[in-house]
Amino acid sequence: MGRLTDDMTRLVGEIHAGRGERGRLVQDLRQATTDMKRTVAAMQARFHAAHADTAARQRRGFREFVGGLRSTVTSLRNGFANDLAGAHNAWLGSGVAATAGRGRGSVKWFGGESA
């Protein structure tokens, strides 16, 4: 065999080896892509579960906060109403106190204006 034949044989061998390596590389890339997709899907599932848990905790916290706020506002309003009724009673006497509990617009203030 001549030098040209040896070079051509070597070149064909390198081409076949390169194809084999490229095939293994493509297969490795496919496997890595599949593994990465599984990993990302699992991570997204954990994110979704964590988000749902956080949202549920926030909803509970907001409900508790609003309930406490309503209770506080109600007690403040009742306290203010009692203070106003007491002041009204002190200014006008106890005869008007009987009509104070009828509702918001039932009591006439100074000068005949409704509350």
Predicted confidence at residue 62, as pLDDT, reads 95
Within a domain: residue 52? yes
pLDDT tens for residues 63-113?
A: 999 999 999 999 999 999 999 999 998 898 776 545 545 555 555 555 554
Rounded to an integer, what distance in angstroms lies between the CA atom of residue 101 and that of residue 87?
14
Within a domain: residue 45? yes
Within a domain: residue 74? yes
Within a domain: residue 86? yes
pLDDT tens for residues 89-101?
A: 889 877 654 554 5
Predicted confidence at residue 53, as pLDDT, reads 97
Within a domain: residue 114? no
Predicted confidence at residue 97, as pLDDT, reads 47
Within a domain: residue 96? no
**13 Cβ neighbours under 8 A, 6+ residues apart:** none
Number of domains in the chain: 1
Within a domain: residue 113? no
Full domain range(s) for residue 75: 3-91
Rounded to an integer, what distance in angstroms lies between the CA atom of residue 101 and that of residue 115?
12
Q: Quick one: average pLDDT of 43-72?
A: 96
Within a domain: residue 60? yes
- The larger pLDDT score, comparing residue 81 to residue 114, is at 81
HEC-encoded secondary structure of 31-89 = HHHHHHHHHHHHHHHHHHHHHHHHHHHHHHHHHHHHHHHHHHHHHHHHHHHHHHHHHHH
How many Cβ atoms are within 10 Å of 108's Cβ, its own excluded?
13
Q: Quick one: average pLDDT of 41-66?
A: 96
Predicted confidence at residue 108, as pLDDT, reads 53
Q: Quick one: average pLDDT of 39-50?
A: 97
